[in-house]
Amino acid sequence: MSMRPGLRKLALAAHLTVSVGWVGAAAAYVALDVVAATSRDEQALRAAFIGMGLVAGSVIVPLAVATLLTGIVMSLGTRWGLFRHWWVVISLVLTAFAATVLVVETGTINAMAAAAADPSTTGGELRELGNTLVHSIGGSAVLTAILVLNVVKPRGLTPYGWRMQRRERRREPD
């Protein structure tokens, strides 16, 4: 199945927008997470944790879901296919993994933000909340790997891709 050129361009623009948005929002989140990990200033900690909750729940999670959905649409509507090429499969798996970890981690992030928003939480208690720096840096690394994979598009058909290619060659007249 192949999309008409205009629809394909629109779908690609949507996919690129949400994907790059996810990368940018993740970078903003990392900056807040660094503040949460390093600052001893109570107000900065509160602001960082509250900001992390807002960025994660209102920006990153919706962009992650949109990236996964638009990526599936792009793969199904173009010659690359969803399961024909290893780079598409790996990209799909990494995106689904990153989105899943993000959704699970959002519970922790929301708890930290709620504690920071509570005026009765002391500065010491805020410092004890910890941070999600390992997840945010790891997630950013995964997103960067996906981005590189989608730009480079290394060769390599899956077994399904080889079968489809042979089937298509048999159908073509000489």
Task: Kindly give the confidence (pLDDT) of every residue in the chain, 174 residues in length, as a single tens digit, with 9 standing for 90 and above.
Answer: 688 999 999 999 999 999 999 999 999 999 999 999 999 999 999 999 999 999 999 999 999 999 999 999 999 888 888 999 999 999 999 999 999 999 999 999 999 999 999 999 999 999 999 889 999 999 999 999 999 999 999 999 999 999 988 988 888 775
Q: 60 near 25, Cβ under 8 Å? A: yes
C-alpha 138/C-alpha 86 separation (Å) is 22
Helix (H, G, I), strand (E, B) or coil at 98: helix
pLDDT at position 174: 55
